[in-house]
Amino acid sequence: MQRLYDFLRRHPTGVDTFWAVFLFGISVVGEGTGQGIRGTDSPAVIVPIVLLLCLVIALRRRMPEKMLLLAIGLGLAQVVLNVETIPADFAMLVIVYTVAATGARWASWLALGVGLSAAPVAQVRWWSENVGALGNVAKAIFLTVPFALAWVLGDSIRTRRAYFAQLEERAARLEKEREAQAKVAVAAERARIARELHDVVAHNVSVMVVQADGAAYVLDAAPDQAKKALETISSTGRQALAEMRRLLGVLRTGEHKEVGEYVPQPDVDQIDELIEQCRTSGLPVDFKVEGTPRPLPSGVELTAYRIVQEALTNTRKHGGPNAGASVRLVYFDDGLGLLVEDDGKGAPHELYEEGGADGQGHGLIGMRERIGMVGGTLDAGPRPGGGFRISALLPLKPAH
């Protein structure tokens, strides 16, 4: 049964053609018996009208507006040629419904007007003398009701279809919006993880490289210094592994349930340890804090730490063997200021211009992204007199 229903839905014109043939058969039988037909009885007049009315049924869904105009023309022809109501006139009722449901709006209103006037016009054309004026008026009203109901039913179907179409469109739009939001969230998370991985790997590996070079240089002349450098490499490697485990834990679970397994996010208080690590690796760093320290949001804490970490990493990579650096943290009333300067030879121009257009300046790109996420500002570039300077201002909000 379902297959038959699906087949009929896929072939609406075939279904309408079947009913058109059925209506033609009824009309032919009615004309043959002479029942219900008054006025002219010439087959040369009646048969073409019947055929065209059946055509209205067959093509009503393919060309509703044109079939409406054809039905109106056939109705006028019946009035002019004195062909009174025949079974095929049922097509006029069907086309009124069809146009109201699927046709253009102008055609729908035209169908309503024609439907409401068809019965009165026919009653006036073929006046019944034996029922009187009141009977003719009552009959006209009675025959008008089916046309009105057909139009109301068709218009209701139109409204319902429009409502469901709007719901489907809204659901599709919401689905697209959800997909777009999901893609944005995935991209943002990938960027965040990329920044974290860059900061962890770049800083710790650069420290390990510097310490390894120093250990190899003094291995024979100063074994104690070489041993100390190797210990620094070991502790730095463990720290890098711990942070990598934290990131992998976030990727696998999305949350920090096992606090003991992963190290916490670094904050401003750990900048002292970071600078001490840099000093141990051979980079002189002058560190000062100005203003009154206060609790910061975790995002600002992490951003400040990563900016200092990346700036000092860049100094080791690009500043040269004799470079020194200075770090200033300034607590303002409405923000936290960071100033990291070095007196080295400075980074190559392409690493800071346009965010690292050569594909290597990912550290500065990460800085700008981090600061943008907390609503801060960043200024990075060569320092007058040589070296490099990174200045950032992070807005302060009370920590909750």
Determine, yes or no, domain membership for 113. Answer: yes
CATH assignment of the domain containing 288: 3.30.565.10
- Looking at 106, 126, 146, the residue that finishes a domain is 126
What is the residue range of 297's domain? 267-400
Structure confidence at residue 251 (pLDDT): 58
Structure confidence at residue 278 (pLDDT): 84
How far, in Å, CA of 100 to CA of 160, rounded?
12
Give the residue ranges of DSSP H helices in the chain. 2-10, 12-33, 43-58, 64-81, 90-102, 105-125, 132-218, 223-253, 271-280, 298-318, 349-352, 362-373
Structure confidence at residue 253 (pLDDT): 53
Helices 362-373 and 298-318: crossing angle, nearest 10°?
A: 160
How many domains does the chain fold into? 2
Determine, yes or no, domain membership for 156. Answer: no
Determine, yes or no, domain membership for 255. Answer: no
Q: What is the pTM of this model?
A: 0.49
- Looking at 91, 109, 126, the residue that finishes a domain is 126
Question: Residue 166 is encoded by which pair of tokens?
Answer: 């709007």
Query: pLDDT (tens digit, 0 to 9) for every residue of the chain, 400 residues total?
Result: 777 777 777 788 888 888 889 888 888 776 655 544 445 667 788 889 999 999 999 999 999 999 999 999 999 999 888 888 888 889 999 999 999 999 899 999 999 999 999 989 988 888 887 877 888 888 889 989 999 999 999 999 999 999 999 999 999 998 888 888 878 877 776 776 667 666 666 666 777 777 677 777 777 777 777 777 777 777 777 777 776 766 666 555 554 444 334 445 778 888 988 888 888 877 899 999 998 888 788 778 888 888 898 888 888 888 777 888 999 999 888 889 999 999 887 666 555 554 443 344 456 777 887 788 788 899 888 888 788 899 999 987 644 4
**Secondary structure (H, E, C), 54-79:** HHHHHCCCCCHHHHHHHHHHHHHHHH
Structure confidence at residue 178 (pLDDT): 85
Residue 304 neighbours by CB under 8 Å, 6+ apart = 267, 268, 271, 296, 329, 336, 338, 392, 394
Determine, yes or no, domain membership for 337. Answer: yes
Determine, yes or no, domain membership for 354. Answer: yes
How far, in Å, CA of 178 to CA of 73, rounded?
53
Structure confidence at residue 203 (pLDDT): 66
How far, in Å, CA of 48 to CA of 378, rounded?
86
Strand bridging mode 335-342 / 388-395: antiparallel
Determine, yes or no, domain membership for 40. Answer: yes
Structure confidence at residue 358 (pLDDT): 38
Q: Are 202 and 313 in contact (CB under 8 A)?
A: yes
- Looking at 100, 126, 152, the residue that finishes a domain is 126
Q: How many residues does the chain have?
A: 400
